[in-house]
Amino acid sequence: MNHTLRIIALVLITALLGNCGEVAFATSVAFSEVSLFAVNVGKGDALLLRVGAWTGLIDTGKARAMGRVARALEMLGIEHLDAVFLTHTDKDHAGGLEWLARSDIVVDMWYASAMFIGVKETKHPAVKAAAMRGQEVCWLQRGDEVQLEGGTVLRVLAPASLSEDKDNNNSLVMMLKSDQGRILLTGDMELPEEAELLSYRDDLACEVLKVANHADDDTTSDIFAQAVSAQIAVISTDSLEKPGTPDPDVICHLEAADSQVIVTQDAELGWMVSLSDGVATARAVNIDAPLTSGIFIMEVDASDDRIFLGNYSGRSIDLGGFYLHSSRGDELFTFPDNVFIAPGDTLVIGTNSTEGRLDLLWDDEKVVHKKNTDTITLYDPFGRFIDSCENGK
């Protein structure tokens, strides 16, 4: 679609939509003594674990999901993380580490699986994130324990050996043991790591299971589901982003073990799972803010590394906290506070290589790819999709 036709189409869409879809949802939520908040980051993992005053983050989702994770931290009043755990190096678990390291969130400890493939240690995403804070990574494998508070521990059940085939099978698998109950966290463990875990004959029974690998068809056998017999099984996925998940057979295995299955895509911001006296409960948490209409990406200029935003609504729009994501470089630009775009105006974002007009600087040498397809996507502060536009390649 050419530039003029795109503008006309978007104006018509805005007029037709008006404020429909701008529905407010309640977000009043708080941690209990032992809680797990599974953030809806699409097909990916980002889990906030709270035990008393101790708070940890297990995985960070993709880079483009940073809005969801940031808003979950904000909503829950978290400005300090006692620990960040990276289960393995896949981008849908590790992609948000860089923005987290650049944020104002205090992080005391960085943990990661001691087994990994496909990347040198110096390029490991957890190592790079920790190094940005002048910190180091503590490597974990089977037999290790992380002490939380009040005698509560995270016991590492896997990995015990290196999988040279798939990094999914090097995932950290950890059991939280507390006075209120147990939570089993499985990363992207597939059937080979699951079989090795079962061979150790550990007591895997728990109240809450974070289902491995987005409940794809390569995980969660019937034997494993029965051994765990969780009251609540949490699946973190998006069926549009990863078709076939959750896999029907996995759901059957879990339900046959009397597990209540919840899926992150069914809650706008995520699911709060609480443990009290051995009983697990869950509730969906949605977003208490309307979806902004009227702002669009007019053009992505690869030749001069510029992105043009337009406002076709009848009101000025505050872009503070909105962010752009480049698919090719997996790069992020977050709009600073108090950046407004008036009705009918155009806002131009450029980089250090831009020669033409720019209103805001994306502090990078080059963002938009000149030769290959690069999609620039605009998200609101809650990580909700607003618009996207390709560079025409």
- Residues 103-114: what's their mean pLDDT? 97
- Residues 167-186: what's their mean pLDDT? 97
Give the span between the Cα atoms of 182 and 378, in whole angstroms: 39
**Residue ending a domain, choose from 249, 270, 285:** 285
135 and 212, same domain (yes or no): yes
Give the model confidence (pLDDT) of 40-87 as tens digits: 999 999 999 999 999 999 999 999 999 999 999 999 999 999 999 999
What pLDDT is attached to residue 49?
97
Give the span between the Cα atoms of 210 and 197, in whole angstroms: 15
Q: Has residue 387 got a pLDDT over 60?
A: yes
Residue 27 lies in a domain: no
CA atoms within a 13 Å half-sphere pointing along the CA-CB vector of 72: 34
For residues 211, 212, 217 and 220, what is the CA-based torsion angle, rounded to 10 degrees? -70
The CATH number of the domain holding residue 211 is 3.60.15.10
345 and 215, same domain (yes or no): no
234 and 220, same domain (yes or no): yes
Residue 29 lies in a domain: no
64 and 166, same domain (yes or no): yes
Give the model confidence (pLDDT) of 278-296 as tens digits: 999 999 999 989 999 999 9
118 and 253, same domain (yes or no): yes
pLDDT class of 393 with cuts at 50, 70, 90: low
What pLDDT is attached to residue 200?
97
Give the span between the Cα atoms of 25 and 230, in whole angstroms: 29
Domain that holds residue 300: 3-21+291-390
What pLDDT is attached to residue 25?
34
Which of 34, 50, 72 has the alpha carbon at shortest distance from 285? 72
Q: Name the domain count of the chain.
A: 2
Give the model confidence (pLDDT) of 228-245 as tens digits: 999 999 999 999 999 999
- Cβ-proximal residues to 347 (8 Å cutoff; 6+ apart), any chain: 308, 309, 310, 311, 319, 339, 341, 359, 360
201 and 265, same domain (yes or no): yes
312 and 186, same domain (yes or no): no
185 and 144, same domain (yes or no): yes
Residue 339 lies in a domain: yes
Give the span between the Cα atoms of 246 and 117, in whole angstroms: 26
40 and 164, same domain (yes or no): yes
pLDDT class of 339 with cuts at 50, 70, 90: very high
State whether the Cα torsion 192-198-199-200 is positive or negative. positive
Q: Take residue 159 and report the two structure tokens written for it.
A: 């990995």
Q: Has residue 129 got a pLDDT over 70?
A: yes
109 burial class (0-12, 13-18, 19+ CB within 10 angstroms)?
middle
What pLDDT is attached to residue 325?
97
**Residue ending a domain, choose from 265, 285, 305:** 285
Q: Computed over its alpha carbons, how large is the radius of gyration of the chain?
A: 22
3-class DSSP state for residue 244? coil
Residue 250 lies in a domain: yes
Give the span between the Cα atoms of 59 and 385, in whole angstroms: 22
- Residues 10-30: what's their mean pLDDT? 39
Residue 230 lies in a domain: yes
The DSSP line for 18-77 is TTTT-----------SEEEEEE--SSS--EEEEETTEEEEE----GGGHHHHHHHHHHTT
Residue 28 lies in a domain: no
What pLDDT is attached to residue 165?
94
CA atoms within a 13 Å half-sphere pointing along the CA-CB vector of 283: 11
Backbone angles phi, psi at 223, to 5 degrees: -60, -45
Mean pLDDT for the chain? 92
What pLDDT is attached to residue 14?
39
Residue 261 lies in a domain: yes
Give the model confidence (pLDDT) of 199-232 as tens digits: 999 999 999 999 999 999 999 999 999 999 999 9
pLDDT class of 392 with cuts at 50, 70, 90: confident
Q: Has residue 115 got a pLDDT over 60?
A: yes
What pLDDT is attached to residue 29?
62
**Residue ending a domain, choose from 255, 285, 315:** 285
The CATH number of the domain holding residue 348 is 2.60.40.1260
Q: Has residue 27 got a pLDDT over 50?
A: no
11 and 59, same domain (yes or no): no
235 and 171, same domain (yes or no): yes
pLDDT class of 12 with cuts at 50, 70, 90: very low
- CA–CA distance from 384 to each of 196, 246, 264, 289, 292 (Å)? 39, 22, 14, 11, 10
141 and 271, same domain (yes or no): yes
- Residues 308-332: what's their mean pLDDT? 95
What pLDDT is attached to residue 5?
41
Q: Has residue 148 got a pLDDT over 70?
A: yes
Which of 386, 271, 250 has the alpha carbon at shortest distance from 317? 386
- CA–CA distance from 378 to each of 298, 356, 385 (Å)? 11, 22, 6
Residue type, 387: D
Give the model confidence (pLDDT) of 163-176 as tens digits: 999 999 999 999 99
